[in-house]
């Protein structure tokens, strides 16, 4: 699922699992992982000085076109998670994001995932290139 090369950009986000996110077994429900990925991705983009709201103000949407999650070990209620987001290339039309979820309880990842998003023109609802200023901010972060 992950490319063999080293990521060009890496971001780490922490959050804690809540009671309402767990199932009868006391595990974080599998569908929540995509929500966790979204929160980490949103904060990664914000850290680049380019929040989602700015994309929308510029008439660009970013829908998910592919998602994949591999579950390795459960996360329990009230565990602090570290979600690492990695980028392996500067996006053009698609933004490919990769995720690894850790807790202090386990050295190996609890889950790994990939989410592919497509830059889309809000008016035409057709794919478009990533905004130049988004690319400039990401490139600056990669080069720093």
Question: Mind spelling out the 3-state secondary structure of 63-109?
Answer: CEEEEEEEECCCCECCCEEEEEEEECCCCCCEEEEEEEEEECCEEEE
Report DSSP state, residue 10: E
* Confidence (pLDDT) at 120: 98
* Confidence (pLDDT) at 56: 93
Concerning whether 70 is annotated as a catalytic residue, the answer is no
* Confidence (pLDDT) at 72: 97
Q: Is residue 109 part of a domain?
A: yes
Domain range enclosing 26? 9-143
Q: What is the CATH number of the domain that holds 84?
A: 3.10.129.10
* Confidence (pLDDT) at 114: 98
pTM above 0.75, yes or no: yes
Q: Is residue 1 part of a domain?
A: no
The one catalytic residue in 23, 70, 78, 133 is 23
* Confidence (pLDDT) at 125: 97
Number of domains the chain contains = 1
Which residues in the chain land under pLDDT 70? none
127 contacts: CB under 8 Å, gap ≥ 6: 93, 118, 119, 120, 121
């Amino acid at each position: 699922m992950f490319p063999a090369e080293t990521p060009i950009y890496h971001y780490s986000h922490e959050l804690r699992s809540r009671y309402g996110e767990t199932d009868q077994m006391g595990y974080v429900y599998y569908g929540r992982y995509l929500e966790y990925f979204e929160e980490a991705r949103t904060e990664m983009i914000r850290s680049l000085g380019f929040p989602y709201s700015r994309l929308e103000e510029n008439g660009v949407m970013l829908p998910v076109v592919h998602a994949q999650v591999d579950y390795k070990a459960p996360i329990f209620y009230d565990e602090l998670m570290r979600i690492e987001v990695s980028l392996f290339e500067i996006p053009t039309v698609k933004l490919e994001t990769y995720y690894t979820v850790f807790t202090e309880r386990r050295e190996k990842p609890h889950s790994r995932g990939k989410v592919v998003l497509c830059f889309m023109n809000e008016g035409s609802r057709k794919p478009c290139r990533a905004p130049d200023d988004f690319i400039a901010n990401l490139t600056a972060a990669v080069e720093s």
